[in-house]
Structure formats: structure tokens, C-alpha cells
Amino acid sequence: MKLEKKWRKYSAVAKTAAQSRLAYWQEMGARTFFFAIVLFTFSGLWGRVIGTNGTLAGYSRQQLVWYLTLTEAITLGATSLIREIEQDVKSGQIAYLLAKPLNYLLYQAAYYFGEMAVTTSLNLLAGGLVAWALIGLPAITLPCLIQALVLIVLGAAVRFCLLAAIALLSFFVEESRPFYWIYSKLIFTLGGLFIPIDLYPEIFRRLATLLPFQSITYAPARAFIGGDWQQFVSSTGTALLWCILLAGLLSFEFSRGVKQINVNGG
């Protein structure tokens, strides 16, 4: 009963976040435009590099374009998480939020997943249509689709833990933005944003598998363009492990951070 009540409370938060995201149609239009440019450019790039029927280390042009469609849809599914947490911490608003009958981190997680569900779905739809028009539909199988969906959700959880941990650094440092920039570059490189990590030189491939970033972009996109169950089990295990580790770290950071809050009445 208690758990059901909690679920209702946080799912209402997620629903509100999803509805408010839908109101920003101009921003969504602009993002779709950018997405179309990226896919258009990469379709040309892969066409030039590997031709229509060739392959690059076993990947066809169609697979590489659809891989990028997935990774970009996920990456462009940006949320207001960092900005919200930073503002709460810097303005001191967090002191009031802590007094509410909500767990602050769970509230942020619910809000984040609500926003993510809308932005990522719309990105997938828009990007999918552009990719379809540019290069045609890939041979999608139901298992690939299911694997990709599961890994997108797990990757989103890993991403939430990382982003929230970065935003909560505002408790300890004046400016947490530079850490976000590092994060975004690590997604670009070790997350395999543009090309599958399998194509990297050995040393970078190994490094990528040791870090959580590949769970966010590479793992779901790789599953979509032709993953197998063995790889899926391995990717799921890795993502779950990172979720647990990072959630623990986040919780520790939060508990240390709130000890630094000074409330002045008035």
C-alpha cells in the first residue's frame, strides 16, 4: 500500500514533467532540424567512405546511419536536470524542498524520466523518419527492438546518476558546468556517439568497456542494429552494475552535500 502510494506520487511527477516538455514545441522543432542535418551529413559521409553496398569493419552504411540515429536520439534527449538541481542548490531552494514529503533525488529522477520519455521518443520518431527517407529501413527484428528498449531505459538510469552527481557538485564547487562539458566529451568519444566502439583502436575500445558511458549510447544502438542475446545479457549486466555503483555514490554525495546547507530564518 505504502509502495503503491509512493509509485502514484512519483509517477504524477513524471507525468507533469512529460506534459511540460510537450509545451516547448519550438525547441523540439529546432532540435529535429539539427538532428536532420547530422543524419544528412553522415549519410553522405558513410556513402563516400564505404559506398552503397560496401561495409566498414562489418558494418553497412545503413547500419551506421541507424546506429547514429539511436545514439543522437538518446543524446539529444536532453533534460533540464542539471539546470534544475544547480539552481536549487545555488539559490538555497533545496532547503525548502527537503522539507516536502518527497525524497529529493527520487523526485528529480521521476521528473527526469518523464522528460526523457517524451524527448527521446520524439527524437526517435523524427530521426527515424529522416533516416528512413535517407537510407531506408534496416532489417529490424523484434528481439533487437526489445533489447534496444531495455538498454535505452537502463542507459537513461546510468545517465541520470551521472548527471545528478555532476549537478550536486554545486554543493562543493562554485561552477559545476566544466564537469558537464567533460562528461559530454566522454559520451562523444568513449560513449561511441558517432561510430560503434568496436571500430576503435584496441586501447580505446578497452578503456570504453571499463567506463559507464558506453551503457548510455553504444549499448542500445548496437543492440538495435543487430545485437545478439549474449551481448545483450553482458550489456544489461554492465548497465545494472553501473546503476548500483553510481546510485550509491550519488546518495553518498547528496548526504554529504545537505550537511553543508545553512538555513537562515527571516
- Sequence length of the chain is 266
Q: Is 27 in the site for other proteins (CB under 8 A)?
A: yes
Candidates 199, 207, 240, 258; binder of other proteins (CB under 8 A) is: 199
Nearer to other proteins, 153 or 199 (CB): 199
Compute how many residues bind other proteins; rule: CB under 8 A: 32
C-alpha cell at 19: 506534459
Residues sharing a CB contact under 8 Å with residue 155, sequence separation 6 or more, in sequence order: 74, 215, 216, 217, 219, 220, 239
Inter-axis angle of helices 61-75 and 142-168, to 10 degrees? Answer: 40
Nearer to other proteins, 38 or 240 (CB): 38
Candidates 201, 210, 230, 255; binder of other proteins (CB under 8 A) is: 201
Q: Is 266 in the site for other proteins (CB under 8 A)?
A: no
Nearer to other proteins, 50 or 153 (CB): 50
d(CA 60, CA 69): 14
Candidates 29, 136, 143, 248; binder of other proteins (CB under 8 A) is: 29
Nearer to other proteins, 76 or 85 (CB): 76
Q: Is 34 in the site for other proteins (CB under 8 A)?
A: yes
Binding mask 39-58 for other proteins (x = CB under 8 A): -xx--xx-xxxx-----xx-
Q: Is 204 in the site for other proteins (CB under 8 A)?
A: yes
Nearer to other proteins, 107 or 194 (CB): 194
Site of interaction with other proteins (CB under 8 A): 26-27, 29-31, 33-34, 37-38, 40-41, 44-45, 47-50, 56-57, 175, 178, 181-182, 185, 188-189, 194-195, 199-201, 204
